[in-house]
Structure 1
């Protein structure tokens, strides 16, 4: 019996080949595109809707924008209203429609 401490066993190095571990195990992984697009556009607002195929599960939605808008909804009618509000926000968002330099109406 030795009294000297021993290092932990090291696993042999294996090269990473093929898809990532999440893909290999069937886990859904979503990668957002980078913030810069080739044509110069940048995402400003996002809408995430979860509407499961099972009618017994309540659908939910989340709408947020870089201008500070951040809203959530649950239930079919409220989710539909949130989607409509998110679409209407495009015309009123200060980041998409800057008011500087415009003549007052």
Structure 2
């Protein structure tokens, strides 16, 4: 019986030894004055854009009016003083929008001067 030799399936490549070195960055002299911080960082102190100025949402009006005329619109008006109303239908939503505007003019949280007059 004779044995037959098969050629190797993978070939081993040799590593070249004469590769040139990668180019290195050249150190250049700094131009201008040295900077205290990274570029783009403000050096002056600015006011905090998220600081609290005491304003809070008090009254909300949420109207859902789909673009299709076949869908019935709805609305909800609420206030932190306890005022809360809902409306379904075109005429009722229009009345609620008007009532919400009237409430904003008479709400004791939005107009504290009215509270003293109403109590008197």
Name which of 40, 47, 67 aligns with 2:61: 47
Aligned residue in 2 for 1:76:
90
1:56-78: CA deviation from partner (whole Å, max 9, x where unpaired):
11000000000001100011111
Length-normalised TM-score, structure 1: 0.58
Where in structure 2 are there 5+ consecutive unaligned residues? 1-49
Aligned residue in 2 for 1:67:
81
1:5-34: CA deviation from partner (whole Å, max 9, x where unpaired):
xxxxxxxxxxxxxxxxxxxxxxxxxxxxxx
User: Aligned partners of 1:37 and 1:88: how far apart in 2?
Assistant: 31
Greater C-alpha radius of gyration: 2
Name which of 28, 45, 58 aligns with 2:72: 58
Where in structure 1 are there 5+ consecutive unaligned residues? 1-35
Length-normalised TM-score, structure 2: 0.51
In the alignment of these two chains, the number of paired residues is 69
> C-alpha root-mean-square deviation of aligned residues, in Å?
2.4
